[in-house]
Structure 1
Amino acid sequence: MLRSSSSSVFFFFFFFFFFWVVVVSRLLCPAVCLTQEGLYLHSVKLALSDPSSSLSSWDPLDATPCNWVGVICDHTSSVTALDLSSLNLAGPLSAVSPLLCRLPSLSFLSLSNNSVNSSLPSDLSSCRRLSHLDVSQNLLTGSLPSSLADLPSLRYLDLTGNNFSGDIPDSFGRFQSLEVLSLVYNLFDGVIPPFLGNISTLKMLNLSYNPFTPARIPPELGNLTNLEVLWLTECSLTGHIPDSLGKLSKLADLDLAFNYLDGPLPSSLAGLASVVQIELYNNSLTGELPKGLGNLTRLRLLDASMNHLTGPVPDELTRLPLESLNLYDNAFTGELPESIADSPNLYELRLFKNKLTGELPKTLGKNSPLRWIDVSSNKFSGQIPSTLCDSGELEEVLMIENSFSGPIPVSLGNCRSLYRIRLGYNQLSGEIPSSIWGLPHVSLLEVVDNSLSGPIGESIVGARNLSSLILSRNSFSGSIPSGIGSLPNLVDFLASDNKLSGSLPESIANLGQLGRLDLHNNALTGELPSGIGNWKKLNELNLAHNSLLGSIPLEMGSLSVLNYLDLSDNRLSGKIPIELQNLKLNQLNLSYNRLTGDLPPLFGKEVYRNSFAGNPGLCGDLEGLCDSRNEVKKQGYVWMLRSIFILAGLVFILGVAWFYMKYRNYKNDRRAIDKSKWMLMSFHKLDFSEDEILDCLDEDNVIGTGSSGKVYKVVLGNGEAVAVKKLWGRIRKESGTNGGDLEKGGCNLPDDGFDAEVQTLGKIRHKNIVKLWCCCTTRDTKLLVYEYMPNGSLGDLLHSSKGGLLDWPTRYRIAVDAAEGLSYLHHDCVPPIVHRDVKSNNILLDGEFGARVADFGVAKVVDSTGKGLKSMSVIAGSCGYIAPEYAYTLRVNEKSDIYSFGVVLLELVTGRLPVDPEFGEKDLVKWVCVTLDQKGVDHVIDPKLDSCFKEEICKVVNVGLQCTSPLPINRPSMRRVVKLLQEVSSDNPLKKTTKDGKLTPYYYEDASDQGSVA
């Protein structure tokens, strides 16, 4: 019994001692248990900023780091690989490189897609076993250390997407094992060095999108006999393509696009036995495609578009397993080989803007999975092949500006995969097959300027995705089907110069997205339909040269974005609604009708004289109309006195009514604001409450009104001011008012811009982006509270009598500020943000004329895959600012913003509006181009600007023209635009210089999709 008790006591003390040993050892674990390599890595964690807590699993209490995120060990628990890519880490690389190189087995290191900064440290050469180094997509700067070439095992080196500059070091020619070298998207400004041809082990050489000094392709690159990928896009390459590249027998991808290469293609390219794709687009290559291309039995993609190539399309190309053939915008002649229809893999064929003749092969599409065909702007003739959609995959048929004849194939009506059909400017005849009208996915149907006839098919009711219906200049007849009103996405309905008859269907008033309705020069009768007040997005209405009856509807005066109205040469009668004075019209024509009564006072100006001609019963002050004032003068002095008394009485009555309305609105507003139901969401530290905001929302503080709501100036208790946008409530919204901002020429916006505005401005911080303090919401009302901009918008100031306040230095500063704001959206936001409505009215000015980009009601983030935004169902933006490809493809990305900003630059230089009746059918961009060609730059520059700044102004004009290039690929990125603007003025304070006097921009250049510098 005693022994049993003693044993129990012994075991009790043993377990007690063991427990405390474990506890103490865990407390001392950082110094005792963690391996030496783990201690090094834990020090790396402490040296870096980790705002997302991505390294939270790096616990110093662990015995080994092998289970930590991104850490890979071998069987001996020694760290062999460290993958810290895309973890949102920040900090100087030089602070961690000595620690990393103490890991004796480290062979793989990736810090890709973080915010690591400073320069690339030279002590990385002490990581002797390193074979894979990836620090791409970071913020590294400076020149490359020559010591990198001393790493004996390095096979993979990726420095893409940083700020490295200067020359590529001479030592790089000494790499012993390097297989991949990628320096894409940096700022290297030397030449591509010939010594890279000494790295015999190279399999991939990527140097694209760097501002290299213009020079030829080094012939020595032909010595890289193991090379599989040669990517030299936009490297300022000049001269001929060297014959030596034909020796690269293992090359699979050759990309020399977007350079200044000239001369013929060397015949030696036929020796690239392994090549899969060749991209040579956007150069100045001449001559014919070389013979022997038919020997490239693995070639899948050939893109030699946008050059000056001539001659026929070689028949031998059709013997290749081509999937994509892009030869557009050259000078190819002759007929297309019939055998191209036998290419079994061909899904993309783009040959537009050439001089090709003859007929398309009759079996084109029968034996291949054809998806996109664009042969526009050639001299093709004959009938459209009926086999284009035999595979059932055809999505786009673009054949505008040719001489195709005959009927449209019935087989296209069975092609339910189609979403774009453009057959305009040909000689097509007959009726459009009824099944084509109702294709469910088609967004664009254009057959303008042909000889087509017959009615618009009733089956159009099934075209639920149709956005643009363009039928002008044909011989269509019959009435417009009632089903047209059931197309929810229809934006453009253009059917002028046809033989349409009957009245407009009542259902057409249901088209809430309609932006343009042009039916002029037809035989339409009847009255204008009721309910056209639903056309809140209508920008252009042209019903001239018909036989319409009845009066002009009063609700037409509520179409807030309408700026083109032509109802001339009809049989309209009655008075002109005084509500039309509410419209901001650039074009008004009501001539040659049967209108009567007095002219609305606002239209009694000489500029409108021709707008009302041919209406005998119409009276007003314009020449040609009866002058009612003469009748008054004949009544003498008594009538004048009577008028004075009547006027005084009216003033008194109006004053009382005004006071009553103000009092009633004040009471209604006070009743509408139930402070207990408001929810406040702040995005910055606030020193005011929602009560201060709500107490000031009365009519005396209104500083602007748009279709999205009212804007108030609110002075807070601390003396500071804020701007409050009160969006229209549900009642206004349901009646058709858009939630976005359509002021001054906006075209089409989504239904509710509040969420986009809050989600965008609530996250971003930049000195040139307007600051969103907070938002206040109830069930029916939404308020957005911004910083107050005393000088209003750039558009209002520039195009008003106060435009003289904007001298050239001020305009230049505004341009740079706005460019930096947009550059932040495109390049520094993750994911990037596309504004989609860049215009002068959305650039606000503070008290010192500093610029802020504003109004993000239609902003969109870019797809994380990097492919840009998907196709929009409607066009968002403002007329005069919309990029041409946006209206053509309905696809939008950063290049659309860059075009719009280019228009703003031209506004600043010219002082003119983007759309002006003086331009005729042109917009500001075309006017500037034509005026420069015909009259010179002096006729473009705003005469208010001092001539001493002419040199700088000319440079800004050049930047604006680059931004508004018709081809998106030719437009510079916003980072490039910032750099170009900063370089405009030699004494510009927005520049920084290094000790050696070289320019250092605030933002590194992103040439991912930028255009060349003219």
Structure 2
Amino acid sequence: MFFHLSLVFLSLLLPSTSLNQDGLFLQKVKLGLSDPSLALSSWNDRDDTPCKWDRVTCDESTQRVTSLNLSNLELMGPFPYFLCRLTTLTSVNLLNNFINSSLTSDIAACQSLEVLDLSENLLVGSLPEALPELRNLKTLNLASNNFSGGIPEKFGEFQKLEWISLAGNLLTGTVPGALGNISTLRSLLLGYNPFAPGPIPSQLGNLTNLVELWLAGCNLVGSIPESLGKLSRLTNLDLSLNRLTGSIPSSLTWLKSVEQIELYNNTLSGELPPGISNLTSLRSFDVSMNQLTGTIPNELTQLELESLHLFENRFEGTLPESIARSPNLIDLKLFNNKLTGELPSQLGRNSPLKWLDVSYNGFSGAIPDNLCAKGELEDLILIYNSFSGEIPESLGKCNSLGRVRLRNNGFTGIVPEGFWGLPRVYLFELEDNSFSGKISNRIASAYNLSVLKISKNHFSGNLPVEIGLLGKLIEFSASDNLFTGPIPGSLVKLSNLSTLVLVDNELSGGIPAGIQGWKRLNDLRLANNRLSGSIPDEIGSLPVLNYLDLSGNYFSGKIPIQLQDLKLNLLNLSNNMLSGALPPLYAREMYRSSFVGNPGLCGDLKDLCPHEGDSKKQSYLWILRSIFILAGIVFVVGVAWFYFKYQNLKKAKRAVTASKWRSFHKIGFSEFEILDFLKEDNVIGSGGSGKVYKVVLSNGETVAVKKLSGESKKKDTSRSSNKDEFEAEVETLGNIRHKNIVRLWCCCNTGDCKLLVYEYMPNGSLGDLLHSSKGGLLDWPTRYKIALDAAEGLSYLHHDCVPPIVHRDVKSNNILLDAEFGARVADFGVAKVVQGVNKGIESMSVIAGSCGYIAPEYAYTLRVNEKSDIYSFGVVILELVTGRPPMDPEFGEKDLVKWVCTTLDQSGMEHVIDPKLDSRYKDEISKVLDVGLRCTNSLPIGRPSMRRVVKMLQESSTGSKPKANKSDGKLSRFYNEVVSDQASLV
């Protein structure tokens, strides 16, 4: 009645018009919504019908409204129930707006609706029990809102419903068995809701028309019901990220239409069920991160698999030969198991194999000849096994290879010539084998090579000058081999080189001239060779050099005074033929081991200059006697005064005398010297946990000191950890050694005062620089390098640390920039150590992170894994592309992610990219923006791993060379896309 009176009242207020009744109703809908972008400006009363209005579809014969598509228009306000007066309206789409308040029982008036899409809005409250009264409804999408409470039992009364998504809400209770009564249902999507622990209802087995069942991240417990085997039309079964137990039921082998089975990250046990060969349509099978045992059944190897993931289980046994008969096998990942035997000899012959990773097993035998038979193999990762034999000649023709990792095996023989020169390979790792022969000069063709690691083999001959043509080379490690001859002078052309390690070879000659071109060199180790000549002065001009080891050679002459300009973490010039005086900075006892074995050196350090030792010793003794006499006089005269003053002094100095200093690197300063510089004049930053000081020490070195006063607050009170911020930072950074993670030099913990001493980063944080008046300093090549550096740091935390580390507060202010704008990930006060990436999901009692960077699922489930970091890093990428902060008043109620997606849809990419960036880089910027959108996918399953992010960023680079503008097109929207490609999760 009230609804009818309101309609009459509004009819009286509106002026008389020729607009038909449907148009009048839509005018009232417009009045009830806020339209800041004027998207509904075409909805005017000058027309006689609304059929020409934007986003309105009518029946051509009756001119009645049948469909409204109002998605992505920034509309605000409650759901417009006047739509229910449009008796021919069958479809309403309000996706990605700001529809708020709650849905009421008035929705039952929309009897003609067949499609209702209200996903990605701000709806709250409980799900209305009146929804099943919409007898014609076939599609219901309420995903990504803030609905709470349980799913009503009445939802089992839908008459024609075929597709329902309630994913990504705040629903509690358990999954009701009544949903099994919707006999017409084809898709049931409930993933990522914080349900109470409960089982999978066996009644779901009654949904015989079901094609898709998505219950990932629903807090499910108990066993998988046998009844699911009755879903004969099911193509996608996803029960991942739960706490399911028991064995995989044999009834799942009855799902003859299934293409994808996702059971990863549960606690399933037992063996894989026999009869899997019945699943003739299966393309992706992921049972990783469980507790399965036994061997891989022969039946499994006969499937038309596209992707097989069995990593991080407890499999034992061998890999059957018949797996090679899988014609669609693209992705085979079996790492971190106990599998043995040989790889099938025909593997890759019958399928377009792209990714092979069998690391950390007990495989033996040779590499199969046919791995790249289809010419599509990209990743060959066999590390930490017992493989033997030679690399097949066929792999020397595999031009698709990008990553080759063969370290820690028993390979022998000569590496094929073509293998050295693969054009797409960017990671080449042959360490810890018994390879022999020379490095082929065909390595010049490997122009994408970034990392070349061949240490601990039997390679010999000269280092080819062609290595100097690899302009993208970042790391070259060739220690513990039999290389002879000089270090090629061409290496000085490698401007991107960060690590050069040639220790324990038979190299001769001197250090090449022109090394000042190594502006990014961080690690130079040439120890235990036959190198001679002088140490060039230019070595002191390398701005980021941290590790220098030239020991065990025949270097002569003086030590360059310019070495004092370096901020070295390691210095070793021992066992050479150096002479002359030590640079004053290094004339200290702590550096003695860096210079021993050079009989010609002169200085005050013991054993370096024996002929001067006696006279100096007498001087020292005379000084000591004088000190003792003076101390005795002071003691006799002022014993009483001293006693009382001493008590006060003891209290005042308690912090220092009781200090527990702990160093994590070799440092060239006294820790106690730092205390004198903790003054307000030296403060360069402050936050909730304390202040940060810039400290310039007496040796000229600059460090950053974070002071945490008192007992630092606990950033996380989860049951798995009660470490405070100080302990978390020390535990994390103290064990990390990576060029893109900020270095923690040392720390001090007195209880009353806690100090963390870091390397100083002259350009401050990315956030401060990017969003200040100095943002113009960051051109696109610099921003791209910052993104790649930070991605490599996070990838190291997620994939290379054991156990993995989740940062939990990734943001632009926690990415620091050195003098060359190299990026370091910093601030690990809320980092979490997990037991395995993806597996280590932990519920936190409080939200860690910063506004605008927090992943959607973290905000309402408090579940933490590496996907939360990936979302936050995606926001950082969007900051670099747009130049905008994560939260801005200009966005209204949106954050940066939603603003970017909306602007892309409505205005195109020109309105997203930072106008300060050179438009000639538009092609590369669009690719990086694409990566950022993938990372900020609203569903965690759709976000790539950090390892994959690094690869995508590398692939997006055009070498920082400007490219001409191309046609714009629309950038693909990954924000709303549910990505099912499980390869991106590895």
Match of 1:459 in 2: 442
Residue 504 of structure 1: how far off its partner (Å): 0.9
Q: 2:866 is matched with which residue?
A: 971
Native 8 Å contact 1:903 1:924 kept in 2: no
Q: Is the 8 A contact 2:806 2:831 kept in 1?
A: no
Q: What are the equivalent positions in structure 2 for 1:109-508 lying under 5 Å apart? A: 109-508=92-491
- Distance in 2 separating the partners of 1:628 and 1:453: 48
Aligned 8 A contact 1:838 1:900 in 2: no
Separation in structure 1 between the aligned mates of residue 70 and residue 450 of structure 2, nearest angstrom: 46
1:830 alignment partner in structure 2 = none
CA distance, structure 2, for counterparts of residue 308 and residue 422 of structure 1? 27
Residues 30 and 61, structure 1, Cα contact 8 Å, conserved in 2: no
Give the number of aligned pairs: 726
CA contact 2:685–2:691 (8 Å) conserved in 1:
no
Secondary structure of the corresponding residue to residue 531 of structure 2: coil
8 Å CA contact 1:29–1:61 kept in 2: the answer is no
User: What are the within-5 Å matches in structure 2 for residues 905-944 of structure 1?
Assistant: none
Give the corresponding residue for 2:520: 537
How far residue 594 of structure 1 moved from its aligned partner, in angstroms, is 1.7
Say which SS state the counterpart of residue 315 (structure 2) adopts: strand
CA distance in 2: counterparts of 1:311 and 1:516, whole angstroms: 43
Q: Secondary structure at the match of 2:567?
A: coil
* SS in structure 2 at match of 1:283: coil
Deviation readout 1:957-979 (Å, 9 max, x if unpaired): xxx9x99xxxx99425269999x
**Structure 1 partner of 2:565:** 582
* Distance in 2 between residues matched to 1:843 and 1:60, nearest whole Å: 69
The answer to whether the Cα contact below 8 Å between 2:498 and 2:521 also exists between their aligned partners in 1 is yes
Distance 1:290-1:837 versus aligned 2 partners, 3 A rule: same
Rate the CA distance shift 1:497–1:35 in 2: closer, same or farther, 3 A. Answer: same
- Looking at structure 2, the residues matched to 50 and 431 of structure 1 have their Cα atoms a distance apart, in angstroms, of 70
Q: Which amino acid aligns with 2:22?
A: E
The match for 1:876 is: 789
- Classify 1:539/1:211 alpha carbon distance in 2 versus 1 (closer, same or farther; 3 Å): farther
Quick check: 2:741–2:825 contact (8 Å CA) kept in 1? no
> Equivalent residue for 1:686?
none
2:940 is matched with which residue?
A: 1008
Counterpart residue number, 1:674: none
- What amino acid is the match of 1:592? N
3-state SS of 1:221 partner: helix
Within the alignment, does 1:79 sit opposite 2:62 as a pair? no
- Cα 1:50–1:554, aligned 2, differ >3 Å: closer, same or farther? farther
What amino acid sits opposite 2:344 in the alignment?
Answer: P
Letter paired with 2:606: E
CA spacing shift, 1:30–1:411, aligned 2, 3 Å: farther
- Distance between the aligned counterparts of 1:466 and 1:500, measured in 2? 21
The CA distance in 2 between the partners of 1:387 and 1:801, in whole Å, is 54
Paired with 1:613 and 1:305, the residues of 2 have a C-alpha distance of 53
Query: Does the aligned pair in 1 maintain the 2:226–2:249 contact within 8 Å?
Result: yes
Q: What's 2:50 paired with?
A: 65
CA distance, structure 2, for counterparts of residue 551 and residue 795 of structure 1: 45
Deviation at 1:318, TM superposition (A): 2.6
Q: Equivalents in 1 of 2:78, 2:452: separation in Å? A: 57
| AA at the equivalent of 1:84 | L
Partner AA of 1:1008 in structure 2? P
Relative to structure 1, the CA distance from residue 792 to residue 299 in structure 2 (aligned partners, 3 Å threshold; closer, same or farther) is closer
State the match for 1:667 in structure 2.
Answer: none
Separation (CA, whole Å) in 1 of partners of 2:83 and 2:327: 53
Partner letter of residue 72 of structure 1?
T
1:91 equivalent in alignment to 2:23: no
Q: What TM-score, normalized to structure 1?
A: 0.65
The 8 Å contact of residues 408 and 433 in structure 2, kept in 1 or not, is answered as: yes
User: Where does residue 915 of structure 2 map in the other structure?
Assistant: none
2:790–2:825 contact (8 Å) kept in structure 1: no
Change (3 A) 1:878 1:229: closer
Change (3 A) 1:43 1:874: closer
Question: What CA deviation, in whole Å up to 9, does each residue of 1:502-535 have, x standing for no partner?
Answer: 1111110111111211111111111111222222
* Distance (whole Å) between structure 2 residues aligned to residue 806 and residue 879 of structure 1: 32
**Aligned CA-pair RMSD:** 4.5
- Distance (whole Å) between structure 1 residues aligned to residue 799 and residue 769 of structure 2: 20
1:32 to 1, 13, 17: 17
Q: Quick check: 1:524 aligned with 2:456?
A: no
Q: Matched residues in 2 for 1:278 and 1:539: separation?
A: 46
1:44 aligns with 2:36: no
Would the aligned equivalents of 1:210 and 1:1007 in 2 still touch at CA under 8 Å? no
Shift of 1:795: 8.9
Decide whether the 8 Å contact of 1:222 with 1:248 is kept in 2. yes
The alpha-carbon distance between structure 1 residues 899 and 448, as it changes in their structure 2 partners (threshold 3 A), is: farther
* 1:577-656 alignment runs, 5 A limit: 577-626=560-609
Which amino acid is the alignment partner of residue 876 of structure 1?
Answer: D
Name the CA shift for 1:81/1:838 in 2 (closer, same or farther; >3 Å): farther
> How big is the shift at 1:635?
13
- Contact map agreement 1:347 1:368 (CA 8 A) in 2: yes
Structure 1 residues 315, 429: closer, same or farther in 2, change over 3 A? same
Give secondary structure in 1 for the equivalent of 2:268. Answer: strand
Mapped to 2, the partners of 1:236 and 1:881 lie a distance apart of 28
* Separation (CA, whole Å) in 2 of partners of 1:792 and 1:629: 55
Structure 2 Cα separation of the partners of residues 149 and 308 of structure 1: 41
Question: For structure 1, which runs of at least 5 residues remain unmatched after alignment?
Answer: 1-27, 641-743, 746-787, 816-835, 845-850, 859-869, 889-894, 906-913, 917-922, 931-950, 979-1002
Q: 1:886 to 1:515 in 2, by over 3 A?
A: farther
Residues 875 and 887 of structure 1 are in contact (CA less than 8 Å); yes or no, is this contact kept in structure 2?
Answer: no
| Distance in 2 separating the partners of 1:460 and 1:443 | 12
CA distance in 2, matches of 1:634, 1:897: 53
Closer/same/farther in 2, CA of residues 48 and 839 from structure 1, 3 Å limit: farther
Which stretch of the first structure deviates more once superposed, 584-593 or 795-804? Answer: 795-804
Change (3 A) 1:518 1:954: farther
Shift of 1:887: 7.7
Please give the TM-score of this superposition, normalised by the length of structure 2.
0.67
What per-residue deviation string (whole Å, max 9, x for no partner) do you get for residues 432-459 of structure 1? 1011111110111111111001111100
The answer as to whether partners of 1:516 and 1:540 remain within 8 angstroms in 2 is: yes
Deviation of residue 149 (structure 1)?
A: 2.2
| Letter matched to residue 456 of structure 1 | I
Q: Secondary structure at the match of 1:263?
A: coil
Separation of aligned partners in 2, 1:56 and 1:396: 53
1:896/1:81 CA distance change after superposition, 3 Å:
farther
Contact kept? 2:706, 2:757, Cα under 8 Å: no
Give SS of 1:608's match: helix
| C-alpha distance 612-76 of structure 1, shift in aligned 2 (>3 A) | same
Deviates more, 1:189-198 or 1:393-402: 189-198
Which structure 2 residue ranges, 5 or more long, are not aligned? 1-12, 624-663, 666-683, 696-702, 719-738, 745-755, 759-764, 773-782, 816-823, 836-843, 874-897, 899-935, 946-986
- Corresponding position of 2:39: 54
